[in-house]
């Protein structure tokens, strides 16, 4: 007898998104001949992995200090980004600062719970 396993049903939920971004997603999905939801799931899967790695990296005291020093001066961060061919806005630098602070708070909380 052949055993067939059915995949688990996927969760469904609603999100709000800028219309321009939806149009871009639809163009990519059409070019790849896949459903919008398939495309979004793939993009999110990769993005979540990147975010998890970033959060893990920020748990390192050394990385956290480096990130904190870099984000204390938006001009330094923006200059370093330009050196590697990236353009960061002040808003993006601000987000980096917030993430560095969150990492610091998580590390402090972890040390307190041990």
- Could you list the pLDDT tens digit for every one of the 114 residues in the chain? 778 788 888 899 899 999 999 999 999 999 999 999 999 999 999 999 988 888 788 778 887 777 777 767 778 888 888 888 988 888 887 887 787 777 777 777 777 765
- Taking phi over 0 as left and psi of -120 to 50 as alpha, with beta for the rest, 33 belongs to left
| pLDDT for the residue numbered 30 | 97
Return the domain boundaries, the chain. 36-113
Contact (CB, 8 A) for 22 and 16: no
């Amino acid at each position: 007898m052949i055993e067939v396993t059915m995949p688990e049903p996927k969760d469904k939920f609603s999100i709000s998104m800028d219309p321009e971004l939806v149009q871009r997603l639809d163009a990519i999905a059409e070019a790849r001949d896949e459903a919008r939801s398939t495309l979004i799931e793939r993009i999110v899967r990769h993005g979540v992995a990147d975010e998890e790695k970033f959060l893990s990296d920020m748990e390192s005291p050394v990385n956290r200090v480096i990130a904190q020093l870099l984000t204390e001066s938006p001009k330094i961060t923006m200059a370093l980004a330009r050196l590697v061919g990236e353009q960061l806005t002040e808003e993006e630098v601000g987000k980096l600062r917030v993430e560095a602070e969150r990492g610091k708070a998580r590390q402090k909380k972890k040390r307190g719970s041990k």
